[in-house]
Structure 1
Amino acid sequence: MNHVGYCVSGALTVETMDGRRTSIAAGDSYTIPPGHDSWVDGDQAFVGIEFVSAAEFAKPAPDSA
């Protein structure tokens, strides 16, 4: 999934399928292509405003019951 947004606070590292890493920090705008992994850096939560993919990203898992 593609992500386009703005980082309000915290820091995130993104690694793409080809092994490239990018750091995103407060005040950065970002575009993250499909096929990536990411993780929060440090103790502060990453808070971002998503402009693309927000309707599909970070939804709760469907109930498996």
Structure 2
Amino acid sequence: MPVLALLSTVFVIGFEQAVQWQYGPAGIVGLLLLTVGIKAKSPACSSAGAVLLALLMAAPAL
């Protein structure tokens, strides 16, 4: 069980770093809103995070 927890932690940290590198601070805010909304079972918060991430991914690269 500790190995699974360690692997999931490494994956989450790596994913957060990749989002921040690719999409900047707005990507971290979107990911944070999505995560908090899912944990708190708040559809408004998770939807806002999902929409922000979708907009960042759909925007043309500058």
TM-score (norm 2): 0.21
By relative contact order (CA 8 Å, sep 6+), the higher-ranking structure is 1
TM-score (norm 1): 0.21
Q: Which has the larger radius of gyration?
A: 2
Greater strand share, 1 or 2? 1
